Every structure is written in C-alpha cells, then in structure tokens.
C-alpha cells in the first residue's frame, strides 16, 4: 500500500491511511508500505493499494475490496453491523471535517511544522494554500457554513457518541477489535498523538477518558513498532 510518511509522534498523518494500515494488521493480511507524498492514486488520493497489478483507491472501497478478496469478516450481528456502519460514516463524513478545520485552517503552521517530510519551500506554500483550500472545502461540504464553535461542537458530540458506544468495553463491540475500531483509531489517534492543541483533544481528555485509554489500547495491540516506524519514516521512502 501507499501511505503518507510519518511524523515523530504518529505513523501516518492521514486518518484514512492509518485506518487502512491498522485494518490490514487486524486481519493479518501480508503487505508492504511505501510512504511518499508525491505518489498519488488515479483519483489523486493517498492511501491506495496495488493488488495483482491492479490499483484500488479510496480507503473505504479498498477495505470493501480486500474484505471480499481475502474472505475476512468481523463476526458481528446484523444490528452490530448497522451500528458499525453508522459510527464509521459519522467519523468519515462529519467528525473529520471538525478536527481537520483546526489543523488545516486555525493552526496550520504548527501542524505543517510536524511534517519533516516536506522541505522548507513546500511548507511555506502549504501555510498559504491549506487554509484557503480547506475553508472552501468545508463550505461546500456544508459544515463550514456554520460558525467555528458550531463546527467544533459537532465534532465533540460525535466523540461523545463514540464514547457512549464504547462504554466500559475493551473495544466497540466487545473483547475483540473489528473494522469499526480501525476507523475510530485512525481518526482519534490524529487528535491525541499529533502535537497540536486541537480543542477536540482537550474535550477527549476531560469528557471521554475511556476513549483516550481505548486509543492507547489499540496502539499497543496493533502497533508495537509505532515509535520505531514513526522515526524511520520521517522523510518517506526513497
């Protein structure tokens, strides 16, 4: 698979790439990872994968394809499958826009400064282009037509919903992780582990401590090499 390079505190700055890599580890699917920023899918996206010489892109579609190809499943009931789908789409279609607004608009300089895989000139360019481009993106999505406080509150409410779904369980649907946990981890790890002051991070630490413990638990379970990979891939693959 192809993914973004790392920062010092996180394996991938892409929640979608981190979700996909964690899912591959969950199902023990053999794979290799190339970490670059100048190699994009046919749709202009990262991550993407190559399987038997065929490119597959869009992380949700990749998971669907690989689920079918390798015959893996989560052993959930129909009711749990429905809930999992709702939680996954909440994270991918609202929560992400809430916390992305902070890192790409309000605190873009500090965020981009964690990207050691970018040279000085590219970082200067991104300081200028990300806020304008992402501001337009969230406006056309719809969430950006609200105030910043309202956008953040939508994210807070999503995080609280996820916290309530988790409750006192080890993982979202019991003692064993499923695909939905990979989605949750991919997004929540961005908030907790990237060293910028997301308001969502403060909210999680103060209001949803069970999620903070859960994210650490997912990292320990699937990423014993987290620190090593993060430091080894700061510049991406050659």
Residue 200 domain flag: yes
**pLDDT tens digits, residue range 66-80?**
999 999 999 999 999
Check residue 149 and give its pLDDT.
98
Instruction: Give the residue-averaged pLDDT of 30-34.
Output: 94
Residue 30 domain flag: yes
* Calpha distance 146→190 (Å, rounded): 23
* Calpha distance 120→135 (Å, rounded): 23
DSSP 28-81: T-----EE-SS---TTS-S-EEEETTEEEESHHHHHHHHHHHHT------HHHH
Residue 177 domain flag: yes
Whether pLDDT at 236 is above 90: no
Give the global pTM: 0.95
* Calpha distance 191→212 (Å, rounded): 10
Q: Encode burial over 185-207: b for 16+ CB neighbours within 10 A, e otherwise.
A: bbbbbbbbbbebebbbbebbeee
Residue 238 domain flag: no
Residue 184 has which token pair? 């949750």
Percent of the chain with pLDDT over 90: 89
Shortest CA distance to 91 belongs to which of 122, 127, 117, 60?
60
Whether pLDDT at 237 is above 60: no
Element (H, E) at 127: helix 120-141
Residue 48 domain flag: yes
Residue 203 domain flag: yes
Shortest CA distance to 18 belongs to which of 5, 28, 36?
5
- The residue segments making up the domain with residue 86 are 2-233
Percent of the chain with pLDDT over 70: 99
Whether pLDDT at 39 is above 90: no
Residue 141 domain flag: yes
Specify the CATH number for the domain of residue 97.
1.20.1050
What is the number of H-type helices and E-type strands within the chain? 11, 4
In the DSSP assignment, the letter for residue 143 is: G
Name the domain count of the chain: 1
Instruction: Give the residue-averaged pLDDT of 74-92.
Output: 97
Check residue 147 and give its pLDDT.
97
């Amino acid at each position: 698979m192809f993914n973004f390079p790392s920062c010092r505190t996180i394996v991938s700055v892409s929640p979608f790439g981190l979700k996909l890599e964690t899912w591959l580890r969950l199902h023990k699917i053999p794979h290799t990872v190339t970490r670059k920023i100048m190699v994009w899918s046919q749709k202009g996206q990262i991550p993407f994968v190559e399987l038997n010489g065929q490119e597959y892109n869009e992380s949700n579609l990749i998971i669907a394809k690989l689920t079918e190809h390798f015959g893996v499943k989560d052993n959930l009931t129909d009711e749990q499958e429905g809930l999992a789908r709702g939680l996954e789409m909440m994270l991918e279609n609202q929560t992400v826009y809430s916390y992305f607004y902070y890192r790409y608009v309000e605190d873009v300089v500090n965020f981009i400064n964690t990207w050691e895989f970018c040279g000085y000139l590219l970082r200067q360019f991104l300081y200028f282009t990300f806020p304008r481009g992402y501001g337009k993106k969230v406006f056309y999505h719809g969430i950006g037509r609200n105030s910043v406080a309202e956008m953040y509150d939508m994210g807070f409410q999503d995080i609280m919903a996820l916290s309530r779904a988790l409750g006192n369980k080890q993982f979202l649907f019991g003692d064993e992780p499923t695909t939905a946990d990979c989605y949750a981890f991919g997004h929540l790890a961005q908030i907790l582990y990237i060293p910028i002051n997301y308001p969502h991070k403060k909210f999680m630490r103060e209001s949803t401590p069970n999620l903070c413990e859960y994210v650490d638990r997912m990292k320990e379970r699937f990423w014993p090499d987290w620190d090593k990979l993060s430091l080894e891939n700061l510049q991406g693959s050659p």
